[in-house]
Amino acid sequence: MKLFILYIFSLLVLTETSAQQSAIVKEIIPLSLRQNAHAIVQESNELFEIKSKSKAYYSVHQVITVLDEQGKDYLRFIEYSDKFHQLQDVEIRMFDAQGNQQKKYSKKDLISFYAGDGLVTDTRLYVQQFSTSVYPVTVQFDYQVKYDGLLHMPSYDIQQPLMSVKSSSFTCIVDENADIRYRAQNVNLLPEVSFQKGNKVYKWSVQNLPAFLYEEGGISAESSYPRILIAPNAFELDGYDGNMSSWEKFGEWYRKLATNMDKLPADRVQFLNNLVRNADSDKDKARLIYEYLQQNFRYVSIQLGIGGYKPFSASFVDDKKYGDCKALSNYMQACLAAIGIKSYQALINATYNKKPVEPSFPFQGFNHVILCVPLNKDTTWLECTSNTSEFGVLGSFTENRNALLITEEGGKLTATPRSKSSSNTQTTHAIIHLNEDGSGQINTHLVTTGSYHSSSFLTDKKDDQKNYLVIQSGFLLPDNFDVKGNKNGVYDVALEMEKVPDFVAGSKMFLHPRITQLWRASLPVSDNRTKDFYFQDPFIKSDTTEYLLPAGYIMEALPPAKNFNFDYGNFQAAYNYDAGANKIITVSRLELTRHIIPADKYKSMTRFFNNVRAEFGEKLVIKRK
């Protein structure tokens, strides 16, 4: 599915472009609009005129004053253009503080290049970063987009961080019978509605909005800021008629696109049935097919025209042994059907910090397709683009979301599984043979799952393995090491270190509490966070480290046991001495129980993780007898 283009600043719009030169010089900006602001939207008017279910014109007129270098991002133009969304007349003017026009640009002055990371795509981006060495500077954007097909509609992006808004509006004109639907996000704002010659006119407007700060690590940008989403009822794209007024109907549209894409040649049906003939349950059969696909098919992104939405046929994928998310999910579905197992393609908005789509507002916000296999109350979800995922494990890329299942009865919105800390684990058990000279041999049993799992670790180059151990897994830097294991995720790692102690002072050695540091990341500091914070996943990391002390040494002092908590996390560490065996055993465990931390818990969360990081500075003290 096509990746949505995120506009760095929102699309602004025009009412009338005329005699604006003199209007550019603005009166003194009120203090309330200066606070936290590096840019000010002086004036913004967007107009979206819907002519039919497949035709519309979107025009933007916007005047922004950028106050200083830190507002530089707002001196940028970015817009995409493709078959269904054609960027037309563009005029951009820059003015100095006195209102004198400095520069003027048109579409041909923009840099254009292909968009996204797909191997093949016909979507192009038009970009220009304007530069200045003198602030403030005012830039005026005027441009038009012609819509051919109305799956997507522009949204009214009211405000971005570090930007205040003096005056802004968005107008949508639509045939009153066709109408649109809308939804306000992060703002309470209702449109004025009027009627003109059979058309319904919606107008949203705002004045004098103070700027807000940017907060790192929050929900994805398109859900983060004040915005009005608009969506069609009946629509058309490339000749495919659809209706978005309910999820059922929207699902029907996608089903229509994917019709007749599921045919497999007879010999392939035979082959697949042969492949699963010894499996007992449907789940085992599905697993065999999934693994067969993982070993023989790969993800290749090809997005051309309607191909951005409509999957390649199963026979194409069968022939090429590749496809994108739509094509591979469609193919997996066809394979399962060939052995008599029912499954549904599921549209989803992927990425760990995306907001689940709203059940009460059907809207095209999806960018990915996965497969749902109902399997008799043991619903299994499959990510068909990964050569390495475990069967039935989605990960936070698509967990915690609402997926639109494409069924015979149309679309059905269904929740995907919640992310669980027990699915993302790193467990270490290390035995350190410590020598009198401070050197040591360390035997470690390491088990990883979920997001800690590396599918390539065993076969990686040695330096890549070392980076995985030290950077990803938090191991102390070894001088030498060797990895053994039969399958990915379970390893025996033998390490050698010339100097095990953190430092030596006189007759004493000061030892690290354990072989792995369980938490190292530093989190943004904030006293008054307003947005929830998103970790990639919830997780459990545990470490048991045994120091076998050299014969000439005994334990002198150990730190007291630790126990830190906050609402969504806990950490325990215990340090014990076994005098008989002359060994120190430390047992520790860090758990984050959910990956979304509410803004009001942010401070307690950073305090918690700071405590965990600081704990690694504690020392186990041993001394020569």
Partner 1 sequence: MKKIILYSFLMLLTASGIQAQKNVSPFGKIDVEDLKMLDVSFDPGAEAVVLFDVGNVYYDRGTQGITWFKTMYNRRTRIKILKDKGMSYANVEIPFYNYNNDEKITNIEAVTYNLDENGKVKTTDVSKSSIYIKKINRRYSRLVIAFPEVKPGSVIEYKYKLERETWTDLKTWYFQSSIPTRYSEFEFEIPGLFRFEALPNIVDNIDVKSKVSRQSVDISGELYDIDVIKKTYVMKNLVGIKREPFSPALKDYHQRLEFQLSQLDFGNGNVKELAASWKQRLEDLNKFEDFGQQLEKNLVGTETILSQASIITNEREKIKYIFNAVRKKMSLSYDESIYTDEGISKAWNNGQGNNAEINFILINLLNKIGIKAMPILLSTRDHGVINPSYTFLSQFNAVMAYVPASNGYYILDATNKTIPYPLIPREVVSTKGLILQQPAGRWIDLIDNSHKYRVTTILQETIDENGLITGTSTINYDDYAKSEKQTSYLKDPAAYKDVEVVRPYPSVNITKVDYVNADKDSLGFSQVVNFTSQLTKTGDYYYFNQNVFTEFLSSPFIDDSRLTDIDYGFQQEYIIYTNVKIPEGFIFESYPKSIVLQTADRSVNFSRVSGDNGNMLNLKIDINFKRNFYTPEQYPDFKEFYKAVIKNLNEQIVMKKK
One-letter identity of residue 433: H
Q: Counting contacts by CB under 8 A, is residue 12 touching partner 1? A: no
C-alpha distance across the termini of the chain, in Å: 68
Q: Counting contacts by CB under 8 A, is residue 114 touching partner 1? A: yes
Site size for partner 1 (CB under 8 A): 66
Query: Which listed range, 151-159, 223-231, 344-352, 465-473, lies at the site for partner 1 (CB under 8 A)?
Result: 465-473
Q: Which residues contact 467 (CB under 8 A, 6 or more apart)?
A: none
Strand residues in 389-520 grouped as ranges (E): 402-407, 410-415, 425-434, 440-448, 480-487, 490-497, 503-505, 508-511
Contact string 383-402 vs partner 1 (x = CB under 8 A): ----xx--------------
Residue 484, SS3 per DSSP: strand
Is the torsion defined by CA of 249, 251, 252, 256 positive or negative?
Answer: positive
**To the nearest whole angstrom, how small is the minimum distance from the Cβ of residue 8 to partner 1?**
16
| Residue 238: CB atoms within 10 Å | 17
Q: Counting contacts by CB under 8 A, is residue 219 touching partner 1? A: no
**To the nearest whole angstrom, how small is the minimum distance from the Cβ of residue 196 to partner 1?**
42
- Selection from 364, 410, 142, 115 nearest residue 256 by Cα: 410
Class of residue 512 by CB neighbours under 10 A (exposed 0-12, middle 13-18, buried 19+): buried
**To the nearest whole angstrom, how small is the minimum distance from the Cβ of residue 41 to partner 1?**
21
Among 21, 194, 455, 576, binds partner 1 (CB under 8 A): 455
- Report DSSP letters for 302-326, one per residue: EE-GGGGTSPPPHHHHHHHSEE-HH
Q: Which residues contact 619 (CB under 8 A, 6 or more apart)?
A: 502, 510, 511, 512, 513, 559
Token pair 């033998």 is at which residue?
A: 494
Among 459, 486, 527, 580, binds partner 1 (CB under 8 A): 459
Q: Counting contacts by CB under 8 A, is residue 8 touching partner 1? A: no
Among 83, 97, 132, 583, binds partner 1 (CB under 8 A): 132
**To the nearest whole angstrom, how small is the minimum distance from the Cβ of residue 192 to partner 1?**
39
Token pair 């936070």 is at which residue?
A: 396
Contact string 35-74 vs partner 1 (x = CB under 8 A): ----------------------------------xx----
**Is the preceding peptide bond at 136 cis, omega within 30 degrees of 0?**
yes
Among 127, 275, 337, 470, binds partner 1 (CB under 8 A): 470
Q: Counting contacts by CB under 8 A, is residue 319 touching partner 1? A: yes
**To the nearest whole angstrom, how small is the minimum distance from the Cβ of residue 121 to partner 1?**
7
Q: Counting contacts by CB under 8 A, is residue 576 touching partner 1? A: no
Inter-axis angle of helices 266-275 and 282-296, nearest 10: 120
Query: Which listed range, 129-137, 220-228, 375-383, 536-544, lies at the site for partner 1 (CB under 8 A)?
Result: 129-137
User: Which pairing describes strands 322-323 and 298-299: parallel, antiparallel, or unpaired?
Assistant: parallel
Q: Counting contacts by CB under 8 A, is residue 106 touching partner 1? A: no
Of residues 327 through 386, those in contact with partner 1 by CB under 8 A are none
**To the nearest whole angstrom, how small is the minimum distance from the Cβ of residue 402 to partner 1?**
31
Whole-number Å distance between alpha carbons of 200 and 373: 43
Whole-number Å distance between alpha carbons of 561 and 574: 5
**To the nearest whole angstrom, how small is the minimum distance from the Cβ of residue 131 to partner 1?**
4
- Partners of 369 in beta bridges: 347
Among 506, 527, 579, 580, binds partner 1 (CB under 8 A): 506
**Which of 15/507 has CB closer to partner 1?**
507
Please, are residues 347 and 325 in contact by the beta-carbon 8 Å criterion? no
DSSP 162: T
Contact string 517-556 vs partner 1 (x = CB under 8 A): -----xxxx------------------------------x
**Which of 23/525 has CB closer to partner 1?**
525
Q: Counting contacts by CB under 8 A, is residue 6 touching partner 1? A: no
Q: Counting contacts by CB under 8 A, is residue 300 touching partner 1? A: yes
Residue-wise over 373-403: b if at least 16 C-beta within 10 A, else e? bbbeeeebbbbbbbeebbbbbbbbbbbbbbb
Contact string 253-292 vs partner 1 (x = CB under 8 A): ----------------------------------------
- Selection from 218, 473, 196, 225 nearest residue 354 by Cα: 218
Of residues 157 through 176, those in contact with partner 1 by CB under 8 A are none
Judged by phi (left if over 0) then psi (alpha if -120 to 50, else beta), residue 382 lies in beta
Please, are residues 248 and 410 in contact by the beta-carbon 8 Å criterion? yes
Query: Which listed range, 124-132, 199-207, 394-402, 584-592, lies at the site for partner 1 (CB under 8 A)?
Result: 124-132
Among 302, 554, 585, 587, binds partner 1 (CB under 8 A): 302
Q: Which residues contact 175 (CB under 8 A, 6 or more apart)?
A: 50, 52, 198, 199, 200
Q: Counting contacts by CB under 8 A, is residue 484 touching partner 1? A: no
Q: Counting contacts by CB under 8 A, is residue 462 touching partner 1? A: yes
**To the nearest whole angstrom, how small is the minimum distance from the Cβ of residue 408 to partner 1?**
31
Of residues 604 through 623, those in contact with partner 1 by CB under 8 A are 609-611, 613-614, 617-621
Among 146, 494, 510, 572, binds partner 1 (CB under 8 A): 510
**To the nearest whole angstrom, how small is the minimum distance from the Cβ of residue 291 to partner 1?**
12
Q: Counting contacts by CB under 8 A, is residue 100 touching partner 1? A: no
Three-class HEC string of 243-286: ECCCHHHHHHHHHHHCCCCCCCCHHHHHHHHHHCCCCCCHHHHH
Please, are residues 492 and 485 in contact by the beta-carbon 8 Å criterion? yes
Q: Counting contacts by CB under 8 A, is residue 146 touching partner 1? A: no
**Which of 248/460 has CB closer to partner 1?**
460
Class of residue 98 by CB neighbours under 10 A (exposed 0-12, middle 13-18, buried 19+): exposed
Site for partner 1, rule CB under 8 A: 69-70, 102-103, 111-114, 119-121, 124, 131-134, 295-296, 298, 300, 302, 316, 319-322, 387-388, 455-456, 459-464, 466-467, 470-471, 477, 499, 502-503, 505-506, 508, 510, 522-525, 556-559, 609-611, 613-614, 617-621
